[in-house]
Amino acid sequence: MAESQLATFAPFTAPMTGEKPFELLGRPAKYTVLYFYPKDNTPGCTTESIAFREAYPEFQALGADIYGLSRDSLRSHENFKSKLGLPFELISDADEAVCTQFDVMKMKNMYGKKVRGVERSTFVIDAQGRLVKEWRGVKVSDHVTEVLEFLKSQP
């Protein structure tokens, strides 16, 4: 999906850790960073979440809130969040509605088999709900630094 198409995507509400649902519009932050990841408690997803955790104060200083999103259940997310000490909430998209809207469901190769799964992706959305930047097919190393550098370059 092209950025111009994403710029007009529909607002959504989804279940989230912390007992309140996530709502895209009406967020108080200047920016919302949504990172989509395949699965809780897997090596790459753990590494990525820890990197966002470590950089969280810098994101906050730039007016950005971070949210991780996968198809895992809220219970799985609560455990993952607690285990890693994440200071931000995780969004559950068990029905894939948000993943579909952001076009992150892809066919992938896992141990020689074709499987349908979440393509690791990150989106920066402004306070008006407009897409500002997207990264698709993310490689975990240095990704959080790329997102931070982008936000630092914004007026």
The domains of the chain, with CATH numbers, are 28-152 (3.40.30.10)
Q: Are strands 31-36 and 121-126 parallel, antiparallel or unpaired?
A: antiparallel
Return the axis-axis angle of helices 143-152 and 43-61, rounded to nearest 10°: 20
- Is pTM beyond 0.85? Reply is yes
Cα–Cα distance, 47 to 141 (Å, whole number): 9
Q: Is the pLDDT of residue 9 over 70?
A: no
Q: Which residues are catalytic?
A: 45
Task: For residue range 57-80, list pLDDT tens digits in order.
Answer: 999 999 999 999 999 999 999 999
Number of C-beta neighbours around residue 38 at 10 A: 19
Per-residue tokens: 145: 């630094």
Report residue 99: phi and psi, to 5°: -60, -40
Per-residue tokens: 115: 């499987």
Task: For residue range 10-51, list pLDDT tens digits in order.
Answer: 778 999 999 899 998 777 789 999 999 999 999 999 999 999
Give me the mean pLDDT over the 106-134 stretch. 88
Per-residue tokens: 112: 């020689």
